[in-house]
């Protein structure tokens, strides 16, 4: 595939890996947080960690929109389907997120809720047009990447007077989450989470540009390298971060120049601000209430706001006590530090949100990397018998 | 008074020709739809069977019209051969897709299930559950495709059943097929037989069927040149077994759950691990691109005309050559090896240079949000 295979080239990967190993000072550790679940997924799926020297460590951040969706929000969507008879549409991997009463959207569907997986907000609108007798609610989640299509759907619905369509808006914002991480006691005071720099979001930055990250570089002295989601992008970004750390610099650099500009997509930004306004506070799963970290639908489009249309009130629901997703999302713990990882909590039976989406830190490690947790035993059987 | 017998004119008809039934008008295939009467066991049901199913599958066993088919088996002494039986339910949306439909799929699926034990498939049964209102013309298309697949495979449908369910209680047509076959003496193929050191072979590109079906889903509908790979694999199996007798230990067709799930099943059954080479696994660029777009992994996408084989290392090249010499195995490849692993991990050396687990599919493969 053109524009894809070039960024998955094994020979180039080994060359960059050798470069990182040569430039990383052996007497210090480097800890970088990849904020986006897309990066976490790429790192696990392509085995990027094995190409890094042991003193370069990656910390999985909270950038999976499915993982940070709090239970109470999924409960609202389930209630709309089961109690209010609405057709609830959402993106694929949202379907499995555990909610209250041992439910998830996929389980609520089995109980008779009309819940449908869609690929876009426009698909949800088409469903509303095709079912004029039903209320169709688009359960909108995601970071800045999926926000413009939701805004477009709301604006189009208003223009055509689509009376049976509304949006349960759970869109969240990347920069606020990064600020929250940097302000957390573990990073700021306790130093239990050393962060030397960030790999900045790819798709999000196509929309908002690289400029919003300048603040982190200047204020917190943390270098940020915006990178694409291909494994070579990630490796190149790690090399750029190692170089910044070695040179004592903290700048925003753009590895993803083929798609990201400093100002981003101004048209999309204008559309988003026409339809959405900032929420003063929003609960994130694992992070708790994060100020000014999410969007709500503006008054002018109130008719398309499911929260108002159905008079919904949000009730926070605590996570399972044994679940360490909160600490994992903040980089305080690794998936393997959680007692229920891989035993009670597996992709078949996810207890916490990090195990649900393949972009979640736990699911990525369980699915792709858990062989590393098991000490390699020098079995003569394996080595002798495998070689033909 | 004329009797019904006279009306039918059965006495005048020559024995070799089908009897003209004048008690019912022929099925209106073009405009007709299935109704509850077609499943009620009365005249309408008999007519449906005769004019549609019998006409398509026509063979001496079916023509006898009994509830069961009395079959001659080439071998019945266990020392001379053993009987293999497999059954499979087929539900698919949409019913028609590029390269096939539920009809040929229901033949290939069960023929392949029998063949994966190393047996020669002999006979099939077919059970249809049809939803009220289903157009007869679509049913005819399905049945004819099924009959063509059965003829091509040389495995006749010798008995069957038809039921009709109320509108809304089915999804067009569900087809269950059962197959029987015979296994030659000395052939022992099972998912339990993989041993460390064995070689894993794959008969061709993966993901074609799943992508062809997805491309027709109402919610996705993208244009592609990819056709389903649905095919009967028993002649390929026969060629492999003949090439290196005793060397093929495991055969599986990676259908639902794809290559990844099938290999995990074998690893668990045999109590071994596997190490695959990503670069060796054949995937058509169009399939790769469609999966990339949809956020799916071709390793988990369904196939209906491919098989994996675990083969003794010393015979791997011979079996591979036999596969490549067969039209259904032209793109066959050696994709990995069986390892000794108490955790039964299927691992993969990535093209990128890393290593990762290729895990079981968890639930349904759901696309990622970004």
Q: Chain A contacts of B289, Cβ < 8 Å?
A: 1
- Classify residue B264 by burial, with Cβ atoms within 10 Å: 0-12, 13-18, 19+: buried
Residues B238-246 have a mean pLDDT of: 97
| Residue B22 distance to chain A (closest CA, Å) | 45
The pLDDT value given to residue A372: 87
Record: contact A386-B197, CB cut-off 8 A: yes
C-alpha B262/C-alpha B85 separation (Å) is: 20
User: What pLDDT shows up at residue A30?
Assistant: 97
Largest CA distance in chain B: 89
Residues on chain A touching B351 (C-beta within 8 angstroms): 8, 10
Determine contact, residues A59/A250, Cβ cutoff 8 Å.
no
- Containing A239, the helix (H) or strand (E) segment is helix A231-247
Closest by CA position to A65, among listed A198, A185, A201:
A201
Residue B335 makes CB contacts below 8 A (sequence gap 6+) with B200, B201, B202, B276, B277, B280, B281, B308
Asked if residue B11 has pLDDT above 50, the reply is no
Query: In the structure, what pLDDT confidence band is assigned to residue B15 with cuts at 50, 70 and 90?
Result: very low
A142·B357 Cβ contact <8 A: no
Q: What's residue B24's pLDDT?
A: 58
Q: What is the pLDDT of residue A379?
A: 44
CB contact at 8 A, B339 and B273: yes
B217 touches chain A (CB under 8 A): no
**pLDDT greater than 60 at residue B23:** no
Between vectors from CA A331 to CA A329 and to CA A334, what angle results, nearest 5°? 90
* B292 close contact with A: CB closer than 8 A: yes
* Greater pLDDT, A333 or B232: B232
Q: Which two tokens stand for residue B236?
A: 């390929």
Q: What is the pLDDT of residue B21?
A: 52
Residue B76 has pLDDT above 50, yes or no: yes
**Minimum distance, in Å, between the CA of residue B264 and any CA atom of chain A:** 13
Distance from CA of B362 to the nearest CA of A (A): 5
pLDDT of residue B25: 73
Q: With CB atoms and an 8 Å threshold, state whether B288 touches A1.
A: yes
Q: Is the peptide bond before A49 cis (omega within 30 degrees of 0)?
A: no
- B199–A388 C-beta distance less than 8 A: yes
Residues in chain A: 388
Reduced DSSP (H G I as helix, E B as strand, rest coil) percent helix, strand, coil of chain B, to 5: 35, 20, 45
pLDDT tens track for B90-127: 999 999 999 999 999 999 999 999 999 999 999 999 99
Give CA angle at A289 (A310, A139), nearest 5°: 35
Which pLDDT belongs to residue A316?
A: 95
Q: Which of A65, A119, A367 sits opposite B359 (nearest CB)?
A: A367
Strands B333-339 and B273-277: antiparallel
Contact B8, B19 (CB under 8 A): yes
Cα A46 to Cα A56: distance, rounded to the nearest angstrom: 17
Q: Distance (Å) from the C-alpha of residue A348 to the closest C-alpha of chain B?
A: 5
Residue of B337, B355, B368 with shortest CB distance to A357: B368
State whether residue B43 sits within 8 Å of chain A by CB.
Answer: no
Q: Would you say A341 and A367 are in contact if contact means Cβ atoms under 8 Å apart?
A: no
Q: Say how far apart CA B192 and CA B190 lie, in whole Å.
A: 5
- Give the Cα separation of B247 and B244 in Å (integer): 6
Contact B347 A371 (CB under 8 A): yes
Alpha helices in A115-198 (DSSP H): 121-130, 147-160, 174-183, 185-188
In the predicted model, is pLDDT for residue B323 greater than 70? yes
Interface test with B, best of A15, A46, A52 (most B CBs within 10 A): A46
- At B370 the pLDDT is 58
Confirm if A359 and A92 have CB atoms less than 8 A apart.
Answer: no
Q: Which residues on chain B are in Cβ contact (under 8 Å) with A65?
A: 369-370
Contacts of A26 (CB under 8 A, 6+ apart): A55
The H-assigned helical ranges of B3-80 are 4-8, 43-48, 55-57, 60-63
Alpha carbons A43 and B356: distance in angstroms, whole number: 10
The low-confidence residues of chain A, meaning pLDDT below 70, are: 375-388
| Polymer length in residues for chain B | 370
Q: Please, are residues B176 and B89 in contact by the beta-carbon 8 Å criterion? A: yes
Backbone angles phi, psi at B124, to 5 degrees: -130, 150
CB contact under 8 A, A13 and B343: no
CB contact (8 A) between residue A123 and residue B219: yes
**What pLDDT is attached to residue B12?**
40
pLDDT recorded at residue B17: 53
- Judging contacts by C-beta atoms under 8 Å, the chain B residues touching residue A371 are 343, 345, 347, 355, 357
Minimal Cα distance from A3: which residue of B? B289
Q: Which of A10, A14, A121 to mutate to test the interface with B (most CBs of B within 10 A)?
A: A10
A to B CB pairs, distance under 8 Å: 130
Q: How far is A178 from chain B (nearest CA, A)?
A: 19
The pLDDT assigned to A8 comes to: 85
* pLDDT of B136 strictly over 50: yes
* Mean pLDDT across B172-193: 95
Q: Is A233 exposed, middle or buried (0-12, 13-18, 19+ CB in 10 A)?
A: buried
Is B135 in contact with B168 (CB distance < 8 Å)? no
The pLDDT assigned to B20 comes to 52
Q: How confident is the model at residue B65 (pLDDT cuts 50, 70, 90)?
A: confident
- The two beta strands, B100-101 and B120-131, are unpaired
Q: ipTM score here?
A: 0.79
Q: The dihedral of CA A256, A259, A261, A264: what is its sign?
A: negative
Provide the pLDDT for residue A266: 97
Asked whether residue B129 carries a pLDDT value surpassing 90, the answer given is: yes
At B233 the three-state DSSP class reads: coil
And the tokens for A143? 């970071």
**CB-based contacts of B44: which residues, under 8 Å, 6+ apart?**
B24, B35, B37, B38
Of A41, A46, A96, the CB nearest to B366: A96
Distance (Å, whole) CA B190 – CA B251: 7
Q: What's the rounded Cα separation, in Å, for the pair A68 and A87?
A: 23
Mean pLDDT of B22-29: 73
Cβ contact A388–B289 (<8 Å): no
Q: Supply the pLDDT for residue A386.
A: 34
CB contact under 8 A, B197 and A385: yes
Most A CBs within 10 Å, among B218, B351, B358, B369, to test the A interface: B369
């Amino acid at each position: 595939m053109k524009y894809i295979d070039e960024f998955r080239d094994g020979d180039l990967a080994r060359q960059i890996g050798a470069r990182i190993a040569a430039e990383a000072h052996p007497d210090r550790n480097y800890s970088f947080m990849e904020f986006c679940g897309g990066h976490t997924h790429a790192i696990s799926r392509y085995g990027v960690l094995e190409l890094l020297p042991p003193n370069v460590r990656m910390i999985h951040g909270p950038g999976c929109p499915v993982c940070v969706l709090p239970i109470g929000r999924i409960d609202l969507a389930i209630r709309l389907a089961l109690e209010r008879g609405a057709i609830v549409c959402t993106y694929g991997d949202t379907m499995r997120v555990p909610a209250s009463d041992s439910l998830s959207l996929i389980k609520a569907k089995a109980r008779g809720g009309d819940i449908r997986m869609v690929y876009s907000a426009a698909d949800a609108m088409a469903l509303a047009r095709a079912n004029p007798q039903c209320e169709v609610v688009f359960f909108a989640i995601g970071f800045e990447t999926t926000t413009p299509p939701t805004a477009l759907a709301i604006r189009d619905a208003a223009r055509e007077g689509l009376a049976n369509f509304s949006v349960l808006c759970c869109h969240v914002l990347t920069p606020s989450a990064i600020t929250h991480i940097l302000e957390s006691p573990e990073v700021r005071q306790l130093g239990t989470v050393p962060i030397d720099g960030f790999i900045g979001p790819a798709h999000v930055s196509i929309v908002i540009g690289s400029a919003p990250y300048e603040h982190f570089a200047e204020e917190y002295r943390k270098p940020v390298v915006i990178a694409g989601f291909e494994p070579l992008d990630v490796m190149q970004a790690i090399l750029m971060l190692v170089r910044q750390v070695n040179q004592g610099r903290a700048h925003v650099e753009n590895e993803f120049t083929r798609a990201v500009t400093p100002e981003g997509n101004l048209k999309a930004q204008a559309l988003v601000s026409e339809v959405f306004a900032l929420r003063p506070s929003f609960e994130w799963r694992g992070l708790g209430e994060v100020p000014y970290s999410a969007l709500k639908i503006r008054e002018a489009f109130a008719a398309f706001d499911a929260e108002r249309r159905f008079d919904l009130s949000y009730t926070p629901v605590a996570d399972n006590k044994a679940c360490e997703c909160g600490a994992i999302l903040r980089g305080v713990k690794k998936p393997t530090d959680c007692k229920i990882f891989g035993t009670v909590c597996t992709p078949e039976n996810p207890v916490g949100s990090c195990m649900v989406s393949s972009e979640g830190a736990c699911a990525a490690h369980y699915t792709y990397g858990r062989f590393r947790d098991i000490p390699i035993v020098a079995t003569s059987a394996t080595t002798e018998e495998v070689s033909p | 008074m004329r009797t019904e017998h006279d009306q039918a004119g059965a006495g005048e008809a020559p024995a070799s020709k089908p009897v003209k039934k004048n008690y019912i008008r022929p099925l209106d295939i073009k405009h007709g739809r299935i109704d509850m009467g077609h499943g009620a066991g009365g005249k309408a049901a008999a007519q449906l069977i005769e004019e549609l199913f019998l006409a398509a599958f026509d063979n001496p066993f079916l023509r006898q019209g009994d509830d069961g088919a009395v079959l001659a088996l080439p071998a019945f002494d266990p020392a001379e051969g053993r009987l293999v039986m497999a059954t499979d339910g087929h539900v698919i949306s949409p019913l028609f897709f590029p390269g096939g439909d539920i009809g040929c799929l229901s033949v290939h699926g069960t023929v392949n299930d029998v063949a994966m034990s190393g047996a020669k498939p002999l006979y099939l049964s077919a059970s249809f559950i049809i939803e009220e209102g289903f157009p007869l013309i679509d049913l005819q298309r399905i049945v004819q495709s099924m009959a063509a697949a059965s003829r091509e495979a040389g495995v006749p449908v010798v008995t069957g059943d038809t039921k009709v369910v109320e509108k809304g209680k089915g999804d067009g047509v569900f087809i269950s097929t059962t197959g029987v076959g015979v296994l030659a003496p000395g052939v022992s193929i099972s998912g339990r037989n993989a041993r460390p050191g064995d070689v894993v072979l794959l008969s061709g590109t993966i993901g074609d069927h799943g992508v062809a079906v997805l491309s027709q889903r109402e919610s996705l509908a993208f244009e592609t040149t990819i056709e389903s790979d649905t095919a009967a694999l028993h002649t390929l199996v026969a060629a492999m077994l003949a090439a290196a007798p005793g060397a093929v230990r495991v055969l599986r067709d990676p259908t639902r759950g794809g290559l990844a799930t099938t290999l995990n099943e074998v690893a668990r059954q045999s109590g071994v691990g596997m190490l695959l080479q990503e670069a060796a696994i054949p995937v058509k660029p169009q399939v790769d691109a469609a999966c990339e777009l949809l956020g799916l992994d071709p390793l988990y996408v369904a196939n209906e005309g491919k098989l994996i084989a675990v083969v003794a290392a010393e015979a791997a090249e011979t079996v591979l050559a036999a596969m490549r010499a067969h039209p259904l195995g032209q793109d066959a490849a050696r994709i990995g090896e069986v390892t000794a692993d108490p955790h039964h991990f299927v691992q993969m050396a990535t093209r990128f240079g890393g290593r990762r687990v290729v895990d079981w599919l968890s639930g349904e493969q759901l696309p990622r949000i970004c």
